[in-house]
Amino acid sequence: MVHQTFPGRPGDEIEVERRFVIMAAVLSRVISLAAALCALSVVPAVSLSQIPDVYDPSTPWQTRHGSLLCPSYFAIKDGEAAARSGDQNWLKQTGCIIAKGGLKIVLVDAPYNPHGSDGVWRGRVYPNDTAAFDAYFNAFYAVSFARGGTFKTDAEAEKYSR
């Protein structure tokens, strides 16, 4: 572990390596979010449903507006590139779709990444008007609504979490 002592503060050591890891994790998260937002910003409006997004806070996991959902892990990069380019035919060839927000997701595989980047998750998506399907997606595209607060007991917290 690398330690650095700053002049004027004898005895105060800062763990440079730890701070570097934290900064790298934050930067990775920012880059991941920026890439997802960039992909969303150039997706033609015609690919998104004209029906407004409806989010249900009681549903644990839902799609974010403009979610890229792909049939396989390996289609995600091509799907992202097709979405960025606005090429509808290419997007269709990848098998990926751009979904509206608020579709129910049941997570199948949602690995935790301690380095801060989102990673790829897998889940079962339940559209309102068609049959459910399995999809791979960037974790950025899955949203959840958490109810926070301060509770005196676990029972009280459980009461308000439903």
pTM for the predicted model, two decimal places: 0.61
Mean pLDDT (the chain, rounded): 74
Q: What is the pLDDT of residue 1?
A: 47
| Alpha-carbon 102 to chain mean position | 14
18-38 as b/e, with b when 16 or more CB fall inside 10 Å?
eeeeeeeeeeebeebeeebee
pLDDT digits (tens, 9 = 90+) for 86-130: 999 999 999 999 999 999 999 999 887 777 667 899 999 998 777
Q: What is the pLDDT of residue 52?
A: 73
Average pLDDT, stretch 129-142?
90
